[in-house]
Amino acid sequence: MGLNPDAPKPAKIVGVKDETPDTKTFTLSPNCFKGFTPGQFAMLTVYGVGEAPFSICSSPFDKDCLQFSIRRMGRVTRMFHEASVGDEVGVRGPYGRGWPVDRMRSRDILIVGGGIGLAPLRSLILHLLRERENYGEIAVCYGARTPSLLMYRGELEEWAGRGVKLYLTVDVGEEGWKGNVGVVTTILGNPVLDKAGAIVCTCGPPVMIRFVLRRLVELGYSKENIYASLESRMRCGIGKCGHCHFGGKHVCLDGPVFQYNEMTGLPKGISPF
Ligand SMILES: Cc1cc2nc3c(=O)[nH]c(=O)nc-3n(C[C@H](O)[C@H](O)[C@H](O)COP(=O)(O)OP(=O)(O)OC[C@H]3O[C@@H](n4cnc5c(N)ncnc54)[C@H](O)[C@@H]3O)c2cc1C
Ligand code: FES
């Protein structure tokens, strides 16, 4: 038909939910992807304003809707926050390499998130819970700066009720917070898992990823089983513009999920080390 396959497809906002004071989850329908792997991202367009990459945070099994949790940062994200149900946005994707779900069968899984970094991990958690019996222990260590910045507050307990061992922490407590206080590395030793065989997936601020990777190795997790989702500035999302090109790798094609040993080879600016 001569159509650019990577032109944004129109999608309607069918739901908007406040997650934290600066983050909202948007539900788009219909799901314009044929399928995706948890950890992949899409380029979302606010018409007349611009386009930006966002992780898909919904389950790949949910064919009726597609969700993105968006934190207010600048032009595009601010306009998203001003959008409401019924508004139309553009979507193209899914892009990038997601979490290694094929390697996870029958194994213990550790998921480590920081702040809004739980978004691409939520998609993975929902994927794993759909076929819970195919995996060993599933532990989630999740931290945010304060309790009110914890994402998906209403769902965390539900995941725990469905067979996820949940460990929460905040950097600074608030009135009523009875959980752990400290950065996420302070709770990484809590889950009892088969450390040598467990697959670990982490996403969060770069400084968090750096300390998490170091602590995971100290705890005995195997480098070949550790994966992190890294962020970079992006424009095309499909390996053409060079905006996300670092040391021979395109974050949009080769990532955003990288295996530990791949990350050690990345140059400053993208490497978490
Ligand atoms: C693969 C990938 C997945 C992402 N997933 C999500 C997600 O699920 N939810 C979400 O809220 N955001 C996510 N982001 C980040 C999101 O793309 C940026 O917040 C967005 O591009 C900001 O656009 P803007 O026009 O609102 O801000 P701009 O006007 O472009 O920038 C505003 C400010 O934010 C800074 N900034 C913008 N983007 C980034 C960035 N990527 N890293 C560090 N600083 C930045 C700028 O330097 C500037 O100071 C993801 C990014 C990538 C690469
Ligand atoms: S965003 Fe253009 S090459 Fe990756």
Q: For position 5, what pLDDT does the model report?
A: 57
Task: Looking at the structure, tell me whether residues 91 and 134 fall in a common domain.
Answer: no
Residue type, 241: C
Distance 233 CA to ligand 2 centre (A): 8
Distance 52 CA to ligand 1 centre (A): 7
pLDDT tens series, the chain, 273 aa: 334 557 899 999 999 999 999 999 999 987 778 899 999 999 999 999 999 999 999 999 998 889 999 999 999 999 999 999 999 999 999 999 999 999 999 999 999 999 999 999 999 999 999 999 999 999 999 999 999 999 999 999 999 999 999 999 999 999 999 999 999 999 999 999 999 999 999 999 999 999 999 999 999 999 999 999 998 889 999 999 999 998 889 999 999 999 999 998 888 878 888
Residue 178 burial (10 A CB sphere; 0-12, 13-18, 19+) = exposed
Task: Looking at the structure, tell me whether residues 110 and 198 fall in a common domain.
Answer: yes
Task: Looking at the structure, tell me whether residues 70 and 166 fall in a common domain.
Answer: no
Is residue 234 included in any domain, yes or no?
Answer: no
Is residue 23 included in any domain, yes or no?
Answer: yes
Q: For position 3, what pLDDT does the model report?
A: 42
Q: For position 4, what pLDDT does the model report?
A: 56
Inter-CA distances, 41 with 224, 226, 258, Å: 23, 20, 14
| Final residue belonging to a domain, choices 60, 80, 95 | 95
Largest distance between two CA atoms of the chain: 59
Is residue 162 included in any domain, yes or no?
Answer: yes
Angle at 147 between CA 144 and CA 153, to 5 degrees: 90
Is residue 141 included in any domain, yes or no?
Answer: yes
| CATH code, domain carrying 210 | 3.40.50.80
Is residue 74 included in any domain, yes or no?
Answer: yes
Task: Looking at the structure, tell me whether residues 167 and 69 fall in a common domain.
Answer: no
| CATH code, domain carrying 46 | 2.40.30.10
Task: Looking at the structure, tell me whether residues 111 and 31 fall in a common domain.
Answer: no
pTM for this entry: 0.94
Sorted by sequence, the CB contacts under 8 Å of residue 48 that are 6+ apart come out as: none
Residue ranges making up the domain that contains 40:
9-95
Q: Which ligand sits nearest to residue 24's alpha carbon?
A: 1
List pocket residues of ligand 1, CB cut-off 6 Å. Answer: 41, 50, 52-55, 68-71, 73-77, 116, 119, 231-234, 256
Task: Looking at the structure, tell me whether residues 113 and 35 fall in a common domain.
Answer: no
Task: Looking at the structure, tell me whether residues 105 and 70 fall in a common domain.
Answer: no
Is residue 144 included in any domain, yes or no?
Answer: yes
Task: Looking at the structure, tell me whether residues 54 and 117 fall in a common domain.
Answer: no
Q: For position 2, what pLDDT does the model report?
A: 39
Is residue 46 included in any domain, yes or no?
Answer: yes
Task: Looking at the structure, tell me whether residues 24 and 76 fall in a common domain.
Answer: yes
Nearest to 125 by CA among 68, 208, 206, 58: 58
Ligand 1 atom nearest the C-alpha of 120 is: 8
Is residue 238 included in any domain, yes or no?
Answer: no
Domains of the chain: total: 2
Q: Which ligand sits nearest to residue 67's alpha carbon?
A: 1
